[in-house]
Structure 1
Amino acid sequence: MKKLFIVMGVVALIYFAATLIVPPYIESQRNPVKSPPPYAVSAEAQAMYDRLDFIADLHCDALLWGRNLTKRGTGGQVDFPRMREANVALEMFTIVSKSPAGQNMKSNTTDAFDNITPLTIVKGESPANWFSLINRTLSQSQKLADFIEEEEGKAIFVRNKADFARLTEARKSDKSIIGGMLGIEGAHALEGDIANLDRVYEAGVRMIGLTHFFDNELGGSAHGQSQDGLTEFGREVVRKMNKLGIFVDLAHCSPAIVDDVLEMTTMPVIVSHTGVIGVLDSQRNLSDLHIQKIAENGGIIGIAFFDEAVGVPELPNIIASIMHIRDLVGIEYVALGSDYDGAVAVPFDITGFPLLVEGMMNADFSEAEIKAVMGENVKNFMLKNLN
């Protein structure tokens, strides 16, 4: 019996050590920054950046990795201190609950080994989360709530229009106040149970991507095998999301789902992180026809920052993607959707946002257009469409 206790103690010690060492190592491999900070821009670009009233990003997966977002990290791409350094007012924190081994843009199976299961275990999460997608989702939701509570009034969990208005008003006198919203990347997190939609709504989720890298109970992924449109369950989920006031995120959805949603939704949609086929021809990206339909719907499109969405070099292609949407349907429909901390290599972390301003200035964007892209469009969209 004594030997058993010793073995159990050694195993527990090894597991505890693994929770401290392995997650940061995995993230360092999955979320590299190609050009680390600090970043320098022209005096003119910095001055324009400093005049921006509201800066926002529509997609960040930082909750996945187990970092304390209230502390400035040496790895990853986003945390609260770096948001403040970059004067970012709002971040949409998106929840990843499952990711297939061999994840790729072309074709992924529904039964592939799940990368998030071992990460969940090695992070030291409750065994209740180890094999439950909905529990993982609710756990990450609670993490954001806990981080915001730790900020003691310096951060606001945005669940409704009143919260958003409180954020914009608070920042008039204190730019250190930041806001966080919750989204879900892939409605497989609902585990095929419509009742779980109420649970994630109560947890603060206000945006859900219907699919991620594989087909699920709602329909086909852009990177799945079927390329199907919405299933009947998918239609039921969209109807209830409209009723509750949860935005549909069309990122990663098959073209058929994009069409089906735009035909039936009663709310404007979001594409939280994407590229455009007009800049990079990829099944990951939006066609001109879908961009036009999303604009007609009153939706908003976040441009991602990584090479498989925009191509390389990333920065000029991010600007080209923004320009493509502006020239096709108007500047009011485009925003930033970095995909920070989403297992992608990015050209700069969130403190490099002034580089975007300089890039748009060099491309002859007006100051009003730059202001719109950097966050004013998101502010207007949320104030108009949040419940």
Structure 2
Amino acid sequence: MKKVIIGVSTLVVILIGVRIIVPTYIDKSRNQVTPHQPYQITNASKSFHQSLFIGDWHSDSTLWSRDLLARAEHGHMDLPRLQAGNVALQMFTTTTKSPSNQNYNNNDANSMDNITLLAMVQGWPVRTWFNLTERAIYQAKKLKHAIKQTPSSFTLITNRQELTALISARQQGSKIVGAMLGTEGSHALEGDFNNIKKLYDEGFRMMSLQHFFDNRLGGSLHGQSKAGLTSFGRKVIEELNSQSIIIDVSHSSPQVVNDVLAISTSPIVVSHTGLHGFCPSARNISDTLMKEIAAKGGIIALGYWSAASCDTSPQQVAKQIAYGITLVGAQHISLGSDFDGAVTTGIDTSELAIITQELLALKVSKQDIKLVMGDNMKNFLLKSLPEK
């Protein structure tokens, strides 16, 4: 009996160790910042940066077992660092499935799923282990719990009234940060049309269609079929339009993007991407498609990691933004960091002022910088979100 007790006690200690050590180790190893000396920001750049309404279309921070209200020494984003970077509005996207051996060229939708293992190791509720909708809802509840703890600093935005209140508070000098919810792929629907309403009721206002693999809606840019929208996918697009849920095509195949542009009654977003003409990566769809998205009133949000911009330096990110302005016009370019998305970037969100400074150095006009850094996101949402 004594040996059994010792054995059980040892197992418990090991399991506790796994819960405490392994998630942090994975987080630290996947979400890195390129080592650098502190960026030197001029007083003029700081002052201009502080005057901006800054918005970011994509962060996967809810995936990790990290306190969003405490400043961490690893990863890319939390509330203190959002405030330090003067971010006014952040879209939090919920990752629910990621194939093993993930790559930008060809992924099998039926391969082992990394998020299942991560959910188990991080101690997520059992209901999330085998249901992707529950994983999205669980991450949403984590965000809402953080907001409930500090409502004067963090607020959930689900409609135009709430966004207008946030804009007013920021104009009066408040550092309150608005948070929004989106999905990283509509496999989160579990193939059930009714889950669109379920996620809407949980506060989701943007849904991407694919991630790194094909799903019931259609082909992924990184999947095996490269197909367009399925009949189910077309029904989903119609429903997303009817519920004022923003459509995100950031991992969709070119044919899916074409199909969405043909049938969507609302402008669409690419929440985190690069521009192929600037960075010819398998991660980035063609400049021609980007122009078509912009021509229909869409937003192209540019990321900071190497597969998007071909270099993680702030100078390179700024150069890609300038390229995008020339390509489609300043009113269609936004920020889409992909912070905490298992990528390495040259900054965390507290260091965003260096992007502003590099844009100024490239002689991008202050008006265009205002649009890119957040006004485009704000204006798009004021048109796209439900009234209340």
Q: Same fold (TM over 0.5)?
A: yes
> Which residue is equivalent to 1:117?
116
Contact 2:41 2:353 (C-alpha < 8 Å) held by counterparts: yes
> Which residue is equivalent to 1:162?
161
Whole-angstrom distance in 1 between the partners of 2:10 and 2:206: 43
3-state SS of paired residue (2:292):
helix
- The one-letter amino acid of 1:238's match is I
> Which residue is equivalent to 1:16?
16
Query: Any stretches of 5+ residues in structure 2 without a counterpart?
Result: none
Whole-angstrom distance in 2 between the partners of 1:251 and 1:314: 22
Whole-angstrom distance in 1 between the partners of 2:119 and 2:37: 29
3-state SS of paired residue (2:101):
coil
Displacement of 1:324 in angstroms is: 2.2
3-state SS of paired residue (1:261):
helix
**TM-superposition CA deviations, 1:309-359 (whole Å, max 9, x none):** 110254333223222221122100000000000000000101111111111
- The one-letter amino acid of 2:26's match is I
> Which residue is equivalent to 1:27?
27
Contact 1:279 1:317 (C-alpha < 8 Å) held by counterparts: no
3-state SS of paired residue (2:284):
coil
Using structure 1 for the length normalisation, give the TM-score.
Answer: 0.96
Contact 1:214 1:220 (C-alpha < 8 Å) held by counterparts: yes
Mean Cα deviation higher: 305-314 or 328-337: 305-314
Whole-angstrom distance in 2 between the partners of 1:132 and 1:7: 33
Contact 1:37 1:352 (C-alpha < 8 Å) held by counterparts: no
3-state SS of paired residue (2:32):
coil
Asked if residue 329 in structure 1 is aligned to residue 328 in structure 2, the reply is yes
Whole-angstrom distance in 1 between the partners of 2:190 and 2:281: 29
> Which residue is equivalent to 2:69?
70
3-state SS of paired residue (2:179):
strand
> Which residue is equivalent to 1:254?
253
Whole-angstrom distance in 1 between the partners of 2:330 and 2:91: 21
Q: Label 1:37 to 1:195 Cα distance change in 2 as closer, same or farther (>3 A).
A: farther
Whole-angstrom distance in 1 between the partners of 2:250 and 2:37: 29
Matches of residues 206-245 of structure 1 in structure 2 within 5 Å? 206-245=205-244
Whole-angstrom distance in 2 between the partners of 1:171 and 1:332: 21
3-state SS of paired residue (1:35):
coil
> Which residue is equivalent to 1:151?
150
Mean Cα deviation higher: 248-257 or 7-16: 7-16
Cα RMSD after superposing both structures:
1.5
How many residue pairs align between the two structures? 386
Query: Any stretches of 5+ residues in structure 1 without a counterpart?
Result: none
**TM-superposition CA deviations, 1:199-238 (whole Å, max 9, x none):** 1111111111100001111110000110000001111111
Whole-angstrom distance in 1 between the partners of 2:37 and 2:347: 7
> Which residue is equivalent to 1:48?
48
Whole-angstrom distance in 2 between the partners of 1:315 and 1:214: 30
Whole-angstrom distance in 2 between the partners of 1:158 and 1:332: 22
**TM-superposition CA deviations, 1:172-198 (whole Å, max 9, x none):** 224321110001001111111111111
> Which residue is equivalent to 1:140?
139
Mean Cα deviation higher: 12-21 or 191-200: 12-21
Whole-angstrom distance in 1 between the partners of 2:135 and 2:38: 34
> Which residue is equivalent to 1:106?
105
**TM-superposition CA deviations, 1:219-270 (whole Å, max 9, x none):** 1000011000000111111111111111110101000000000000011111
Contact 1:36 1:349 (C-alpha < 8 Å) held by counterparts: no
Whole-angstrom distance in 2 between the partners of 1:208 and 1:116: 18
Whole-angstrom distance in 1 between the partners of 2:261 and 2:2: 65
Whole-angstrom distance in 2 between the partners of 1:10 and 1:345: 36
Q: Label 1:82 to 1:36 Cα distance change in 2 as closer, same or farther (>3 A).
A: farther
Asked if residue 195 in structure 1 is aligned to residue 163 in structure 2, the reply is no
Asked if residue 287 in structure 1 is aligned to residue 322 in structure 2, the reply is no
Contact 1:87 1:175 (C-alpha < 8 Å) held by counterparts: no
Asked if residue 309 in structure 1 is aligned to residue 317 in structure 2, the reply is no
Asked if residue 205 in structure 1 is aligned to residue 197 in structure 2, the reply is no
- The one-letter amino acid of 1:373's match is V
Whole-angstrom distance in 2 between the partners of 1:5 and 1:175: 56
Contact 2:314 2:347 (C-alpha < 8 Å) held by counterparts: no
Contact 2:189 2:196 (C-alpha < 8 Å) held by counterparts: yes
Q: Label 1:2 to 1:174 Cα distance change in 2 as closer, same or farther (>3 A).
A: farther
- The one-letter amino acid of 2:307's match is E
- The one-letter amino acid of 1:122's match is V
Contact 1:251 1:274 (C-alpha < 8 Å) held by counterparts: yes
Using structure 2 for the length normalisation, give the TM-score.
Answer: 0.96
> Which residue is equivalent to 1:95?
94
Mean Cα deviation higher: 286-295 or 232-241: 286-295
- The one-letter amino acid of 2:186's match is A
Whole-angstrom distance in 2 between the partners of 1:85 and 1:271: 26
